[in-house]
Structure formats: structure tokens, C-alpha cells
């Protein structure tokens, strides 16, 4: 989900305060979609807003990921293998091979195994906020839930869940560009500590296999091919990085959207359609990026090979050409072909897990209604837009 380097400079170029944009990017998206839906913001750097253009970029092989990179561990962690590029960074055939191996391990039975864990955890976290008469929905619910679900999915022993949660907390700061250099340094160290922990866990699971995804990833084999130690480590980290903050942001932004629409009737049992609409409406991954590996054209507008295209999923998910009354939250919207999980070969591997978590968490949370008890705080991450605090109280 990394973008071209220049994209963080948007706001400087546009002379706008980032905080204003983070709180509500949608009016500007609409304006840009109408005024210049294919916008060359800098030499060879494009922004695309239309649903059809975004879909095309994600689906066609002329648009690819940039150069993948490996990472050598720092001296303190020299015993770890070199970290292979994750599949999120890779193009075919390397992507096809990794995704093929990993998909074999990522089976529906792992999701079913997690269902009671997610239910108990969601209930416990929600009850604690209710019992205290209110709290911060981000730090007390939306953040810990997906972190601990990934820990459980991978087979992290329960006694290590607290430590895993702390590492996740530090690592999440790596995604926030507004961090101080000291916090960044701490976050980088936490990331290597977590990788070291995964490394030891992988060795333990090789000796004593468990009924978990990490064991499955170690054992998976196709035509004599297996994941190398560096690929295993990188995959475990990718699952945490790709699956944590995104789900946290869906849960917190989704809750805020529901609080802001008190007159909307909540679904009674079937939250399936409501979750799809919250995914569309909040678009936790706002931007994605690809590089052209051949010259292409959009309705006669030529885009040369080697250009960076940033596709704005948040804008595509509100394109009036596809969604009627797109800024309206319609919890029963059908059809709802949103692209919150992307499209094409990189389509979110964890989409079923994220849906399951949301379809369990929202109904448990919304057994009571909630009111806002202060101002929600937005992060400054234009790729993974989300809240850093959401003060709420049960009504």
C-alpha cells in the first residue's frame, strides 16, 4: 500500500492544512473528480479518482508495483534471516508464487476457529467500556481487537498477547508520519524485536506444530516449493501490518459514522450489508499506487511508461457514476461493488477475516447506542486514514 515518494507532498503543493483534509477529504475528492479526474500533479505523477480508472489500474498488467526490496537486519538482530520483499510489493511471477503458497495456508477453517475468540474478545472489550460509563473506543476496542485476533490467528501463545499488543502499538507509529524521531526509533526497534519473536516462534512451531496459520505457513508446499525463512518472517509481519491498522480504522470510523447517523435503523441480526456499506463509506485504505510498465492512455490522455499512478480508492468508492447518492450512508445499499479491499491480483488476502471481525464486533458494540463525549481525533496518514481517539459513552 506504499505510494510514490512524492505523494506526501500533496498538501504542501495544494496549500492546504492536512488536518482539515483528514477530517473530511470527500468534498475535495468530489471537486477533483469533476475538475480533473486524471490529474498530473507533477511530472510523471498522476492522481486518478474515477471508479472505472481505479478499477482498470488495479486489474491490468500494464500497471505494476515498483521495485521490491529486501532488508538486512541491524547488528543486534544479525541472527535473523534477510527479510524478503512481501507479496504486497511484488509483481508476477514472484507474486503469483507467494500468493499461491500463502493462500493454501489461509484456509476458511482458521477463520471458523477464530470466531469464538473474536466474539469473547469483542464482548469483553465492549463490556469494559460500558461498565466504566465510557472511554476511548480506539485504544480500548478498535486497536486491541484486530491486534489480538492476528496474534491468535498466527498461534501466538495467549501469555504473550500483552507483549504482542505493545509491539503492535509501537509499530503502528511507523505508519504515522507525524511521529518524533525518538518515537520512530523506538518503533523501528519494536519491529525488529517482534521479528525476532516471530523467528523464535517459527522454530518452536517447527518442533511442535500447532493448529494455527504460522504452522500451516511453515508446512505449506507446492511442487517441492516452500516459503524460505526470510519469506516466512516477512509474511508474518505483513499480516500484522496489513491486517491491524486497517481493521482498527474500519471499526473506529464505522462507529463514528453510526454515531453521526442516529436516525438510521441499525440492522437487527444481519450486519453483512451494513459492514459492506461501512467499508465503502469509510474506505480505510484511501490510496493505492502502481507504476506503468508500458505506455497507456485514458480516453486519449497519454501516460508514458514509468509514470506513477496514485489511485484514490476513497474517491472511487464515492463516484456518483457507480453509487447513487454516494455521500449517503445507506446500511442496506445493494449492489455495493466497493473497492475498499482493492481489486485484481493483490485483492486483500484478509478480506474474509476483516469482514468476520466487523460482522461480530459491530453488533456487539451496538447492543447499546453510543454518544460522542469529545472531539474525535484524526490521524495524519493519507494512505490509512483513521482515528487516533474516539471518546464515547453508552446511552
User: Site residues (CB under 6 A) for ligand HEM?
Assistant: 1, 87-88, 99, 150, 238-239, 242-243, 246-247, 250, 284-285, 288, 340-342, 346, 348-350, 353-354
Q: Which residue reads 483534509 in cell numbers? A: 21
CB of 342 to ligand HEM, least distance (A): 3
In this complex, which beta carbon is closest to ligand HEM, that of residue 322 or of residue 354? Answer: 354
Cα 188–Cα 384–Cα 70 angle in degrees, nearest 5: 40
Q: What share of the chain is helix, strand, coil (3-state, %, to 5)?
A: 55, 10, 35
Give me the residues paired with residue 389 across strands.
377
Q: Which residue reads 505508519 in cell numbers? A: 175
CB of 26 to ligand HEM, least distance (A): 17
In this complex, which beta carbon is closest to ligand HEM, that of residue 150 or of residue 329? Answer: 150
CB of 66 to ligand HEM, least distance (A): 11
In this complex, which beta carbon is closest to ligand HEM, that of residue 222 or of residue 371? Answer: 222
In this complex, which beta carbon is closest to ligand HEM, that of residue 347 or of residue 394? Answer: 347
3-state secondary structure of 315: helix
CB of 352 to ligand HEM, least distance (A): 9
In this complex, which beta carbon is closest to ligand HEM, that of residue 76 or of residue 211? Answer: 211
Q: Which residues of 193-230 are buried (b: 16+ CB within 10 A; e: fewer)?
A: bbbbbbbebbeebeeeeeebbbbbbbebeeeeeebebb
CB of 55 to ligand HEM, least distance (A): 12
In order of 104, 190, 247, the CA distances from 242 in angstroms are 19, 17, 9
> Which residue's CB comes closest to ligand HEM?
350
In this complex, which beta carbon is closest to ligand HEM, that of residue 87 or of residue 121? Answer: 87
* Torsion angle of the four alpha carbons 168, 171, 177, 183, in this order, in degrees rounded to the nearest 10: 110
CB of 119 to ligand HEM, least distance (A): 16
CB of 311 to ligand HEM, least distance (A): 9
In this complex, which beta carbon is closest to ligand HEM, that of residue 10 or of residue 341? Answer: 341
In this complex, which beta carbon is closest to ligand HEM, that of residue 25 or of residue 77? Answer: 25
Q: How many CB atoms lie within 10 A of CB 11?
A: 16
Q: What DSSP character marks residue 345?
A: G
CB of 309 to ligand HEM, least distance (A): 12
What secondary structure does DSSP assign to 13-40, as a single string?
A: HHT--HHHHHH--HHHHHHHHHH-SEEE
What secondary structure does DSSP assign to 250-280, as a single string?
A: HHHHHHHHHHT-TTSPPPSS--HHHHHHHHH
In this complex, which beta carbon is closest to ligand HEM, that of residue 1 or of residue 101? Answer: 1
CB of 307 to ligand HEM, least distance (A): 17
CB of 343 to ligand HEM, least distance (A): 8
Q: Is the dihedral of CA 247, 346, 202, 84 positive or negative?
A: negative
In this complex, which beta carbon is closest to ligand HEM, that of residue 133 or of residue 288? Answer: 288
Contact 357, 117 (CB under 8 A): no
What secondary structure does DSSP assign to 355-378, as a single string?
A: HHHHHHHHHHHTTS-EEE-S--EE
Q: Which helix (H) or strand (E) holds 71?
A: none
Residues 6 or more apart whose Cβ sits within 8 Å of residue 359: 271, 272, 275
Amino acid at each position: 500500500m506504499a505510494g510514490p515518494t512524492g505523494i506526501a507532498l500533496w498538501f504542501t503543493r495544494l496549500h492546504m492544512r492536512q488536518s482539515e483534509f483528514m477530517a473530511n477529504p470527500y468534498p475535495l475528492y468530489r471537486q477533483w473528480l469533476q475538475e480533473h479526474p486524471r490529474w498530473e500533479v507533477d511530472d510523471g505523477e498522476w492522481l486518478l479518482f474515477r471508479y472505472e480508472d481505479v478499477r482498470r489500474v488495479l486489474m491490468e498488467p500494464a500497471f505494476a508495483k515498483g521495485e521490491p526490496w529486501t532488508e538486512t537486519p541491524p547488528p543486534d538482530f544479525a541472527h535473523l534471516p534477510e527479510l524478503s520483499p512481501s507479496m504486497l510489493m511484488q509483481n508476477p511471477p514472484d507474486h503469483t508464487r507467494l500468493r499461491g503458497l500463502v493462500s493454501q495456508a489461509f484456509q476458511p477453517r482458521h477463520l471458523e476457529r477464530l470466531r469464538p475468540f473474536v466474539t469473547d474478545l469483542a464482548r469483553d472489550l465492549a463490556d469494559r467500556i460500558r461498565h466504566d460509563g465510557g472511554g476511548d473506543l480506539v485504544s480500548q476496542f478498535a486497536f486491541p481487537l484486530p491486534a489480538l485476533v492476528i496474534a491468535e490467528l498466527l498461534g501466538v501463545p495467549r501469555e504473550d498477547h500483552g507483549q504482542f499488543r505493545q509491539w503492535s502499538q509501537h509499530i503502528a507509529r511507523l505508519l504515522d508520519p507525524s511521529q518524533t524521531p525518538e518515537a520512530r526509533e523506538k518503533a523501528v526497534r519494536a519491529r525488529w524485536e517482534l521479528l525476532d519473536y516471530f523467528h523464535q516462534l517459527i522454530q518452536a512451531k517447527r518442533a511442535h506444530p500447532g493448529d494455527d496459520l504460522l504452522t500451516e505457513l511453515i508446512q505449506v508446499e507446492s511442487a517441492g516449493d516452500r516459503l524460505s525463512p526470510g519469506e516466512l518472517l516477512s509474511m508474518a509481519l505483513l499480516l500484522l501490518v496489513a491486517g491491524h491498522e486497517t481493521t482498527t480504522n474500519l471499526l473506529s470510523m464505522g462507529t463514528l459514522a453510526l454515531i453521526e447517523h442516529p436516525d438510521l435503523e441499525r440492522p437487527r441480526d444481519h450486519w453483512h450489508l451494513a459492514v459492506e456499506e461501512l467499508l465503502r463509506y469509510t474506505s480505510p485504505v484511501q490510496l493505492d499506487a502502481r507504476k506503468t510498465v508500458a505506455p497507456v492512455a485514458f480516453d486519449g490522455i497519454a501516460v508514458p511508461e514509468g509514470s506513477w499512478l496514485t489511485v484514490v480508492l476513497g474517491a472511487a468508492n464515492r463516484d456518483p457514476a457507480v453509487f447513487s447518492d454516494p455521500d449517503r450512508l445507506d446500511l442496506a445499499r445493494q449492489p455495493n461493488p466497493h473497492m475498499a479491499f482493492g481489486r485484481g491480483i493483490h485483492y486483500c488476502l484478509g478480506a474474509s477475516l476483516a469482514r468476520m471481525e466487523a460482522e461480530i464486533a459491530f453488533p456487539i458494540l451496538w447492543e447499546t447506542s453510543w454518544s460522542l463525549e469529545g472531539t474525535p481525533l484524526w490521524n495524519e496518514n493519507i494512505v490509512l486514514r483513521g482515528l487516533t481517539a474516539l471518546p464515547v459513552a453508552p446511552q
